[in-house]
């Protein structure tokens, strides 16, 4: 039974990717993290978003390509009042470490 579950989990992970986004600019104090969390929850991504001491916002998210593309678009656009001046995005295989999406 556990082999079947492990096989299913492995297949599920094959269709997921991990992205890390770092957004610089006017991104603190305007609801950027809450917007990211709400979007990620809506499109069923898992991961975290946090303010970083250097003034950036960091997002680590895992999910299917279409949901991650929606997240990428939001990182560039941001919520009302945002003025992101730089967005850095990297991709890696999903690790499965997250079970939900949280603000940290």
How far apart CA 39 and CA 75 sit, in angstroms, is 11
Set 16, 18, 22, 33: catalytic member: 33
Set 37, 51, 77, 86: catalytic member: 51
**51 assigned to active site:** yes
- What is the DSSP track for 13-54? HHT-EEEEEEEEEE-SSSSHHHHHHHHHHHTT-EEEEEE-TT
**83 assigned to active site:** no
How far apart CA 103 and CA 98 sit, in angstroms, is 12
How far apart CA 86 and CA 76 sit, in angstroms, is 8
Rounded to a whole number of angstroms, the CA Rg of the chain reads 14
User: What residues are annotated to the active site?
Assistant: 33, 51
């Amino acid at each position: 039974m556990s082999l079947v579950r492990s096989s299913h989990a492995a297949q599920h992970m094959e269709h997921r990717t991990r992205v890390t986004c770092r957004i610089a600019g006017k991104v603190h104090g305007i609801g950027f993290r809450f917007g990211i969390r709400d979007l990620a929850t809506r499109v069923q991504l898992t991961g975290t978003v946090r303010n970083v001491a250097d003034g950036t916002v960091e997002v680590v998210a895992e999910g299917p390509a279409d949901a991650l593309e929606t997240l990428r678009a939001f990182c560039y656009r941001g919520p009302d009042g945002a003025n992101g001046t730089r967005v850095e995005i990297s991709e890696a295989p999903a690790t499965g470490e997250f079970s939900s999406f949280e603000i940290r």
